[in-house]
A and B are shown apart, each in its own frame.
Chain A
């Protein structure tokens, strides 16, 4: 009987050790899996950032090219049309009111086009900071008088030019959503800053818009990607009486050096 008990005890101890071994193997797997998933996440984020950077670079080049094309081709055509209108005016004894109106409208169109080409020109963006660019953009929209934009800010932002361009494009997209899709009459842009973060809030009195629709979906996704690229967060509060976009960006140590 004693031999049987001894055998049972020995087998039990061996089984217990094996069970502990299996448990340790499972724990070891869990630890390896956590490390693997963290590495995978980091790699995925790096990849997305690289992809987004490339997309933005391509987009900026396209904007730049588009701006140049508008300036050189359409701008020249409009200028020569204005010149021809001037010649016609001078040759007429009595200038019709409609011709004056046409020349005035054409002048406005040329000015709008200049402002637009400026906002698309990357070199111009690199020379000026976000605040200056935004002010120019807001002036361009306010001149049309369809929408009024009120802009308050805290001065020059301590982030590099590349980041300012990205933030500018996010703001442009938000303004486009408010004007085109929410049909807003009044927009408010407010930039505030603390020692370690920048807050950009855009309010409008429009009727809101569908975030997942085909018209706005891509723009919203771009805004999210661009904000993520800056390491920040973006959120929307959309209602039938107005929308609110809240962007929070961190200020990193190397940003202060700029």
Chain B
């Protein structure tokens, strides 16, 4: 039986292909890079998984890159200078913190790591600020603005995964809940990823629509 996640791999590739049409927009250029890194990571993970090897270390590295790139893409839509600076400074702090956690506190073999939760909290905060900073440049509604969907994609993804990431490592230790926890984690992860890529695709479609119907 084909795994549920394979469908969102397809959506991920579709998002990446779409992003290539708008590389002149800095935010989308960063998203394209993020999607490319995601595709490479997922491919490596699939290979490692098929060989029965531990692949968590790739996700540890991916988290660092993911946070940096999502933050950089969100900075593009923020017009408050102090917040921009704060977001920019948070990247090296997070990178160092995440590496420290992976190297000393939790190790490379445990997933989701604490840095996932920190990443989620920070990105949810940046997304809320970015939502407030969407500047109208025509008379289209907020739902017709690509930026809204790009922000909502990350916002919803981290809202869905953050609570479960936080308690997953505890639940997995309870033997009675092991199978259910694993299944639930897989389900939540898949649904979140579907929402993430569907929202990103809506954003790219709106980019195309805005380009074809300028005001």
Contact = CB atoms under 8 A, between A and B. Distances in A.
B136 to A, nearest CB: 4
B128 interface: yes
B136 A36 contact: yes
Contacts of A33: 136, 139
A73 to B, nearest CB: 50
Contacts of A37: 136, 139
A25 B131 contact: yes
A15 B159 CA distance: 9
Given A11-B163, A18-B159, A25 B136 contact: no
B132 A25 contact: yes
B163 A25 contact: no
Interface in B114-159: 128, 131-132, 134-137, 139, 142, 159
A25 B128 CA distance: 8
Contacts of B134: 25, 29
Contacts, number: 27
Nearest to B139: A37
Interface in A1-58: 11, 14-15, 18, 21-22, 25-26, 28-30, 32-33, 36-37
Contacts of B142: 25-26, 29-30
Which of A26, A30, A33 lies at the interface centre, i.e. has the most chain B CB atoms within 10 A of its CB?
A33
A185 B192 CA distance: 79
Contact of B132 (A14, A15, A28, A36): A28
Nearest to B131: A25
Which of A26, A30, A37 lies at the interface centre, i.e. has the most chain B CB atoms within 10 A of its CB?
A26
Range of interface residues on A (Cβ < 8 Å): 10 to 19
A57 B163 CA distance: 69
A87 B134 CA distance: 84
B145 to A, nearest CB: 8
A33 B131 CA distance: 14
B202 to A, nearest CB: 16
Interface in B86-135: 128, 131-132, 134-135
A15 B155 CA distance: 12
B135 to A, nearest CB: 7
Nearest to A33: B136
Given A11-B163, A18-B159, A36 B137 contact: yes
Nearest to B167: A7
A196 to B, nearest CB: 33
A107 to B, nearest CB: 61
Contacts of A18: 159
A15 B163 CA distance: 11
Nearest to A32: B136
Contacts of B137: 36
Interface string A124-145: 0000000000000000000000
Contacts of A14: 163
Nearest to B135: A32
B167 to A, nearest CB: 9
B139 A21 contact: no
Contacts of B159: 15, 18
Contacts of B163: 11, 14
Nearest to A27: B142
A33 B163 CA distance: 34
Contacts of B136: 29, 32-33, 36-37
Interface string A166-187: 0000000000000000000000
Contacts of A25: 128, 131-132, 134, 142
Contacts of A11: 163
Contacts of B131: 21-22, 25
B14 to A, nearest CB: 26
21 contacts: A11-B163, A14-B163, A15-B159, A18-B159, A21-B128, A22-B131, A25-B131, A25-B132, A25-B134, A25-B142, A26-B142, A28-B132, A29-B134, A29-B136, A32-B135, A32-B136, A33-B136, A36-B135, A36-B136, A36-B137, A37-B139
Q: Which 6 A-B pairs have the closest CB atoms?
A: A33-B136, A25-B131, A29-B142, A36-B136, A26-B142, A25-B132
